[in-house]
Amino acid sequence: MEPLIEEAELARKGAPTDAIAAPTGEAVKVETRRKSPTQIALARLRKDKVAVICACIFVFFVLIAIFAPLLAKLEGQDPTTLNQDLIDQYGYPTIAPNGEHWFGVEPRLGRDLFARWVYGARPSLIVAGSVTVVTTIVGVTVGLVAGFLGGWIDRILSWVIDFVLSLPYLLFAIAVPAALLAVFVGNSEAAGNDEVANVRFYSLILVLSFFGWASLARLIRGEVLTLREREFISAAKVLGVPTRKVLFKELLPNLVAPIVISVSMALPTYIVTEAGLTYLGVGLTEPTPSWGLTIYAAQNWYRADPLYLWIPVAAITILVLALSLLGDSIRDAFDPRTRR
């Protein structure tokens, strides 16, 4: 009779009675059911071999960017030294990749290609990472406020979102650096290369951040419009919970899936955008080491020196492909329709 009395007492207190009487295997299943959707998604990602490989590739490139000075020092070169003695009168390198220059030297200028390559990972990842962080914070905040408060605030913020999405970002990417140079540097022709490169670097982050948050804000707003009609939000309002706590304690945890998916998709997009704008001449400029700048400079030398072109192209391709596949795996892991 004692087990029955114990079960009755547990039932009176609201505790599940099957967790005590169930065998060990079923108890484990009960414990598994208590995991949050985020924990279940992360468990699925750990079992996904493609996701693990892609994450390792991404970490590899991040480590290259972090330890670029150490790697260049290990080779014994730097990205700015001009080795004119290794260039012939027509600008072609006179040496092939060797122990001193692992990827060879750059045509015309003679700079070490390996040092330029490892340092070139930095601006791509810094720009993409910075823009992703800024757009995520702004987009999530605007989407939360617009979707939850509604009324005239929602109408104004929705109008701002639509206005930003309607603007041609390429024209702004061309105009903003020139305007910032005029404001902070003055005469761009008299300014040094380092000053121009810094202004172009920060203006690129500014332009991409300005245009990147709106799409995420629209997505979050739509999710919040659905969630704010749920019972737990109504209960929080009845209990007098402050709006700030409702937004960031009740709604935000339920938006982890779309936010994580958006971030995983945004990173490869911004890497490609940075390289594309730099290739078009409206992104980064010398002397900043950049894969996009290397590709732009290598288009006239790709037959004479294929490594000059294909090394940065391969790096961008592998990194973007890995992040895209990782984003697909994250989307599948967080998708309730595919969760087992």
| pLDDT tens digits, one per residue of 200-212 | 888 889 999 999 9
Any idea what the CATH number is for the domain that residue 69 is in? Answer: 1.10.3720.10
The yes-or-no verdict on residue 228 having pLDDT over 70 is yes
Do 27 and 155 lie in a common domain? no
Q: What is the pLDDT of residue 33?
A: 55
Residue 74 is assigned to a structural domain of this protein: yes
Same domain, 131 and 198: yes
Residues 44, 186 within the same domain: yes
CA 138, chain centre distance (Å): 14
Q: Indicate if 6 and 134 belong to the same structural domain.
A: no
- Which comes out higher in pLDDT, residue 59 or 336? 59
Predicted confidence (pLDDT) per residue in 69-87, tens digit? 999 999 888 888 888 888 8
Residue type (1 letter), 159: W
Q: How many domains would you assign to the chain?
A: 2
Residue 129 included in any domain: yes
Pair 322, 201 in one domain: yes
Query: Which two structure tokens, joined as six digits, stand for 231?
Result: 């019972």
Does residue 42 carry a pLDDT above 90? Answer: no
Six token digits for residue 95: 């040496």
Supply the range of the domain harboring residue 307: 39-334
Residue 58 in domain: yes
Q: Quick check: is 279 in a domain?
A: yes
Taking alpha carbons only, the member of 265, 259, 272 closest to residue 125 is 272
Of the pLDDT bands very low, low, confident and very high (cuts 50, 70, 90), residue 189 is: low
Same structural domain, 90 and 152: yes
**Do 21 and 153 reside in the same domain of the chain?**
no
What SS3 state is found at 269? helix
Do 19 and 131 lie in a common domain? Answer: no
The residue among 110, 126, 132 whose CA lies nearest residue 68 is: 126
